[in-house]
C-alpha cells in the first residue's frame, strides 16, 4: 500500500509510534509528504495502533477531538483507503 503522509502526520508518528512501536515505525523511513510503500501486514498493525491511540488519547473531557485526535483520525482515514 502506498501512503502519502503530510509532514505533520509524519512528525506525529515519529514522536509517538516511533517511541511506542519502533518496530512498526522503521517501515516509515521517509515522510514529509512523500509517498511511502508499506506492506499490508504493517498497515494493519499501524492502523490498529492508531485506533487504540485514538480511543485512549484522542478526545478531550467533552468528547471532542483534541489536536492529537484530529491527526489520529486523519491517519485512520489514510490507512483504511
Summarised one tens digit per residue, pLDDT across range 10-60 is: 899 999 999 999 999 888 766 555 667 888 999 999 999 999 999 999 999
Altogether, the residues listed in the chain come to a count of: 81
pTM confidence score:
0.86
Indicate left, alpha or beta for 31 from its phi (over 0: left) and psi (-120 to 50: alpha).
beta
Question: How high is the pLDDT of residue 59?
Answer: 97
Domain boundaries, the chain: 2-80
Q: Whole-angstrom Cα distance, residue 21 to residue 64?
A: 26
Amino acid at each position: 500500500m502506498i501512503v502519502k503522509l503530510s509532514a505533520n502526520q509524519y512528525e506525529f508518528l515519529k514522536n509517538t509510534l516511533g517511541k511506542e512501536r519502533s518496530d512498526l515505525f522503521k517501515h516509515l523511513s521517509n515522510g514529509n509528504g512523500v509517498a511511502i510503500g508499506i506492506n499490508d501486514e504493517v498497515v494493519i498493525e499501524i492502523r490498529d495502533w492508531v485506533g487504540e491511540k485514538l480511543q485512549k488519547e484522542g478526545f478531550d473531557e467533552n468528547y471532542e477531538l483534541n489536536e492529537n485526535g484530529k491527526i489520529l483520525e486523519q491517519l485512520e482515514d489514510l490507512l483504511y483507503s
